[in-house]
Amino acid sequence: MSHPLNHGGTETRRFNDFSEFSASPRLKRFLHWLLPLAFLILFFFFPLSRILSLTFSPVAFTAENLQIAYSALRFTFYQAFLSSLLTLLLGLPSAYLFAHYDFRGKPLLRALTAVPFMLPTVVVAASFNALYGQRGLINTILQFSSSLFPLSSFAQNIHPSSFILHPFLAILLAHVFYNTTIIIRIVGNALSSLDPRLEQTARSLGADSLRIWWNVTLPLLRPSLFAASLLVFLFDFTSFGVILLLGGSRFATLEVEIYLRVLKLPNLPLAALLSVIQLVCTLLFSLLYTRFAARGTQFNPRSVTIKPKSLRQKIFVTALSFLLTAFFLAPLSSLPIRSLFRLEADRGQRGEVQYGFTIDYYTELFVNRRGSVFYVPPIQAAFNSLAYASATVVLSLLFGFPAAFALAKPTRLEKVLDPLIMLPLGSSAVMLGLGFVLSFGAWLTSPLLVPFAHTLVALPFVIRALQPAIASIPERLRQAAASLGASPLEVWRNIDLPILRRATLSAATFAFTVSLGEFGATLLLSRPEYPTIPVAIERFLSQPGGLNYGQAMAMATLLMLLTLVSILLIERFRMPNSGEF
C-alpha cells in the first residue's frame, strides 16, 4: 500500500457490511420485492381470492341475487353515462376556453376547477349538501327570509320558498364538479397541441368554421376525447361516497349495493358477486382507456392563446368563466360558511332560535355528549384520522420504496409485476373493504386493519411518485459513492434519500391525503369507537338535527382545509414532468 490509511478504527465496521454486498443481483431483486409482494399477497390477493371463491359458490348465483345485481349494474351504467354526458357538456367548452383564450384570472380559474378532483368524496358531498341540501345555504336562506316576511306567504304559493336539489341531480352535478378537470386537461392539452396551420389550410381550401370543426378538429381530437370520456366514466362508475351521502341507499349503484349487503342487509355472497362484476367492468374500461390514451397526441403546446376580441368571443369567455367560477366556488365556499352560521333550529332547541354566526359546531366537536353519535368526543375522529394517515405514510413508504427501486430498473420480472402492483387501483375501495371483512373477520375489532386498507389504496400512487425520481438518479452517482467508501446503506442514506427528498415528501403527503379522505373501505372496516373524519361526517349527516348537521359541516371544513394544505405541499414538492392522473 502506498498510502497507509489512517482510519484503523473503522476497519471492524467495514467488515460488518459484508453480507449485504455478497448478495447476487437476483437475490437483491428478490429482497426488493419481498415486502411489497408479501403485503399485496396478504392484503390484496388473498382477500381477492376469498371474494372470488365466494362469488363462484352456488349461494351467490340465486335468481334474487342476479336480479339485484342486474338492476344495480343497470343503474350504475345509467348514472355514470348521464354524469359523463353532463361532464362533457361543461368540460368541452371549458377545455376550449382554456386552450384558446387568454383572460384575467385564467390560471386561478384553472386551478379552481382542478381542486375538487383532489378533495375527498365526503368533502365534495358535504359541500353540495351545504349548498343545495335541505339544510343547505340556499334552502335555509329562503326559509329564513320567508320567516322574516311572513306576509308574503301568498307569494310563496306561487314560488315556494324551499329549494332542495333532487338527490339524483345533486349526484350528477357532484360528478360533474369532480371530473370536469379531466376533460379540461386531456382535451384541452390536445386542443392546444393541434397545429394551427391545419385549420388555416382548411380555411384556405374554402371550409367554413363549422366544417373545419367537423372535418378537421374533431377527428384529430377523437382519441383524447374518447380517453377523457372513458376516464370520467370510470370515475363515475366507481363513485361511492358522493352517491351514498347525497342520495342514500335508494340510489343503489354497484358500490352502494355492496356496502348495503355488507353492513345493512348482510348478504356476503351477493356483495362478492357485485364486486366481481364491478372489478370486471373497471378492468375493461381501464384497458380501453389505456388503448385510447396511447393513441392520444403528446402534449406539445403550439397554438397561441388569444385575447377575446369580437363581441361573441367576449360574451363566451365572460359567461363561461362566470359560470365556472360560480359552479366551482359556490359549493366549496358554502361548506365553511354553513359551518360557521346557525341558520335554523338545532336539535332540541325550542322557541327562540339564535340565528347568525357561531363557532358552536366546532366547540361541540370537543364535547362527549351522552346519546350523541359517538362514545367519544367527535374530535377524536380527527386524531384517529391523523394516526391512521401517519401509519399509512409509514407503511406505504416501507412497501413503496423497495418496489419503486426495483421498478426503476425494470427487468422481465418487473414487466410482469408492474401491472400486479397497480391492480388495487382497479378495484374499488368498497371491494377492498369487503375483501378485508371476508379475510380478517377475527381482526375486525382491531383498528389495525384500517391503515393497511389505506396503504393498499395509496401504494400505487406512492410507487408512481417515487419511481421516476429514482430512475432519474444516474447509477454512476451510486458507483462513485461506493468507490469513495460508502456502503450500500450509506449510499442509500447519503445519495438516494437526499436526492429523493422532494419525491419522498410528495409521495408521503399523497399517502397522507389519500388516507385522510378514504371513505369506502374505512366505512366497512372502522369500529364505532375508532371513527375517522369521513366516517364521522357520514354519521353526522345521517342523523337528524341541525347540531349534527353543523358538526358535519365543521368536520368537512376541517378535512377540506387539511387536504388543501396537503395539495399545496404536494405541488411544492412535485418533480417537474412527473405524470398526470
Partner 1 sequence: MLEVHHLFKTYEGKPLLEGISFTVEEGETVCLLGASGSGKSTLLRIVAGLEESEGGFVSFNGIDLASTPPHLRDFGLVFQDYALFPHLNVYDNVAFGLRMRRMGQNEIAERVASSLKLVNLQEFGRRKVTDLSGGEQQRVALARALATRPRLLMFDEPLGALDRTLREELLNELRSILHQTKIPAIYVTHDQVEAFAIADRILILHDGKIVRDGTPSDVWANPVSAFVAGFLGLGKVFEGEVRENTRNGKWKVESGLGVFTVHCGHEHQTGEKVHLLARPLTAESEANVISGVVVDVIFQQDRFKVTFDNGLYVYLKDAPKVGERVEARVKMECLA
Question: What residues line the site for partner 1 (CB under 8 A)?
Answer: 1-3, 5, 7, 9-10, 13-15, 17-18, 21-22, 474, 476-477, 479-488, 490-491, 494-495, 498-499
Q: How far is the CB of 468 from partner 1 (least distance, A)?
A: 16
Nearer to partner 1, 2 or 577 (CB): 2
Nearer to partner 1, 104 or 476 (CB): 476
Q: Which three cell numbers stand for residue 344?
A: 335554523
Fill in the DSSP letter of residue 167. Answer: H
Nearer to partner 1, 170 or 503 (CB): 503
Nearer to partner 1, 134 or 487 (CB): 487
DSSP E strand boundaries for 336-427? 341-342, 356-357
- Residue 371: how many CB atoms within 10 A of its CB? 4
231 three-class SS: helix
Q: How far is the CB of 499 from partner 1 (least distance, A)?
A: 5
Nearer to partner 1, 29 or 342 (CB): 29
Q: Whole-angstrom Cα distance, residue 544 to residue 552? A: 11
Q: How far is CA 454 from CA 229, 262, 286, 510, 514, in A?
A: 27, 19, 22, 11, 7
Nearer to partner 1, 5 or 304 (CB): 5
Nearer to partner 1, 35 or 495 (CB): 495
Q: How far is the CB of 99 from partner 1 (least distance, A)?
A: 35
Residue 379 phi, psi dihedral angles, 5° rounding? -65, -20
Q: How far is the CB of 481 from partner 1 (least distance, A)?
A: 7
Q: How far is the CB of 480 from partner 1 (least distance, A)?
A: 4
Beta bridge partners of 123: none
Q: Map 76-94 to HEC letters.
A: HHHHHHHHHHHHHHHHHHH
Q: Whole-angstrom Cα distance, residue 55 to residue 181? A: 36
Q: How much helix, strand and coil, in percent to the nearest 5, is found in the chain?
A: 75, 0, 25
Q: How far is the CB of 478 from partner 1 (least distance, A)?
A: 9
Q: Which residue has the cell 339544510?
A: 135
Q: How far is the CB of 404 from partner 1 (least distance, A)?
A: 19
The answer to whether the CB of 70 falls within 8 A of the CB of 291 is: no
Q: Whole-angstrom Cα distance, residue 377 to residue 363? A: 10
Between the two ends of the chain, the Cα-to-Cα distance in Å is: 56
Q: Which three cell numbers stand for residue 540?
A: 353526522
Q: How far is the CB of 572 from partner 1 (least distance, A)?
A: 17
Beta bridge partners of 342: 356
Nearer to partner 1, 17 or 102 (CB): 17
Nearer to partner 1, 280 or 480 (CB): 480
Nearer to partner 1, 298 or 483 (CB): 483
Q: How far is the CB of 562 from partner 1 (least distance, A)?
A: 30
Count of positions (residues) in the chain? 581
Q: Whole-angstrom Cα distance, residue 238 to residue 253? A: 9
**Cβ neighbours of residue 24 under 8 Å, at least 6 residues apart?**
none
Single out the residue of 180, 166, 175 nearest to residue 124, CA to CA.
Answer: 175
